[in-house]
Amino acid sequence: MHAVLPLNHKDFIKKAMAVAPYYGFAPLETVIKKYSKNSNRKLNKPIGSSLEIKTDTFGREMANILERCKAHNISPETSHELFYHSTVVPQDKKTATPAHMHFNLVTLGVQKSIAEALLLRTTGTILKENGLINHCVHINSIGDKDSGIKFTKELQAYLRKNISDIPVSTQTVLKKDVFHALSHLRQKRHPLYNDAPKSIEFLSSASRKYFQGVLEYLEGTEVSYSIDPRMVGNKDYYRETVFEIRDTENETDGGYDGVLARGGRCDEIARRIYKVPTSIVGITLTVPWKGRVTKSPLPQKRGRRPKFFFVQLGMRAKQQSLGVIELLRKENIPIHQSICEDTLSGQLEQIKELQVPYAILMGQKETMDETVIVRNVDTQIQEIVPVETLPSYLKQISL
Q: Is the pLDDT of residue 138 over 80?
A: yes
Backbone angles phi, psi at 267, to 5 degrees: -60, -25
Domain of 242: which CATH number? 3.30.930.10
What are the pLDDT digits (tens) for 43-98? 334 344 456 666 688 989 999 999 999 998 887 776 789 999 999 888 888 877 88
The arithmetic mean of pLDDT across residues 166-176, rounded, is 90
Residue 65, strand partner residues: none
What is the identity of the amino acid at 76?
P
- How distant, in Å, are the alpha carbons of 35, 255, 357 from that of 374? 33, 50, 11
Backbone angles phi, psi at 69, to 5 degrees: -60, -45
Residue 102 structural domain: 9-144+233-288
**Same domain membership, residue 240 and residue 133:** yes
Do residues 81 and 244 make contact, with C-beta atoms less than 8 angstroms apart? no
What are the pLDDT digits (tens) for 379-390? 999 999 999 999
Q: What is the share, in percent, of the chain residues with pLDDT greater than 90?
A: 65
189 found inside a domain: no
Query: How many Å apart are CA 125 and CA 283, to the nearest integer?
Result: 13
* Secondary structure, 3-state, the chain: CCCCCCCCHHHHHHHHHHHHHHHCCEEHHHHHHHCHHHCCCCCCCCCCCCCCCCCCHHHHHHHHHHHHHHHCCCCCCCCCEEEEEEEEECCECCCCECCEEEEEEEEECCCCCHHHHHHHHHHHHHHHHCCCCCEEEEEEEEECHHHHHHHHHHHHHHHHHCHHHCCHHHHHHHCCCHHHHHHHHHHCCCHHHHCCCCHHHHCCHHHHHHHHHHHHHHHHCCCCEEECCCCCCCCCCCCEEEEEEEECCCCCECCECCEEEEEEECHHHHHHHHCCCCCEEEEEEEEECCCCCCCCCCCCCCCCCCCEEEEECCHHHHHHHHHHHHHHHHCCCCCEECCCCCCHHHHHHHHHHHCCCEEEEECHHHHHHCEEEEEECCCCCEEEEEHHHHHHHHHHHCC
Distance of CA 146 to the CA centre of its chain: 24
**Same domain membership, residue 389 and residue 251:** no
Q: Is the pLDDT of residue 250 over 80?
A: no
The arithmetic mean of pLDDT across residues 95-104, rounded, is 88
The confidence score (pLDDT) of residue 188 equals 87
Of 52, 56, 59, 82, the closest CA to residue 69 belongs to 82
**Same domain membership, residue 367 and residue 271:** no
Domain of 331: which CATH number? 3.40.50.800
Of 367, 365, 357, the closest CA to residue 335 belongs to 357
1 — pLDDT class (breaks 50, 70, 90):
very low
- Mean pLDDT of all residues in the chain? 88
The confidence score (pLDDT) of residue 293 equals 75
How many structural domains does the chain have? 2
Query: How many Å apart are CA 280 and CA 266, to the nearest integer?
Result: 6
**Same domain membership, residue 91 and residue 35:** yes
The confidence score (pLDDT) of residue 192 equals 94
What is the identity of the amino acid at 215?
L
280 — pLDDT class (breaks 50, 70, 90):
very high
**Same domain membership, residue 136 and residue 44:** yes
Q: Is the pLDDT of residue 15 over 70?
A: yes
209 found inside a domain: no
**Same domain membership, residue 317 and residue 268:** no
Strand pairing of 240-247 and 135-143?
antiparallel
**Same domain membership, residue 388 and residue 261:** no
322 found inside a domain: yes
The arithmetic mean of pLDDT across residues 303-326, rounded, is 90
**Same domain membership, residue 281 and residue 328:** no
The number of residues in the chain equals 399
**Same domain membership, residue 280 and residue 373:** no
362 — pLDDT class (breaks 50, 70, 90):
very high
List of residues 6+ apart from 224 with CB closer than 8 A: 135, 136, 137
The arithmetic mean of pLDDT across residues 252-277, rounded, is 80
The confidence score (pLDDT) of residue 301 equals 63
Q: Is the pLDDT of residue 241 over 70?
A: yes
What are the pLDDT digits (tens) for 26-54? 999 989 988 876 554 443 343 444 566 66
Cα dihedral 149, 154, 156, 161 in deg (nearest 10):
170
The confidence score (pLDDT) of residue 254 equals 37
The arithmetic mean of pLDDT across residues 239-250, rounded, is 89
Do residues 106 and 65 make contact, with C-beta atoms less than 8 angstroms apart? yes
Q: Is the pLDDT of residue 256 over 50?
A: no
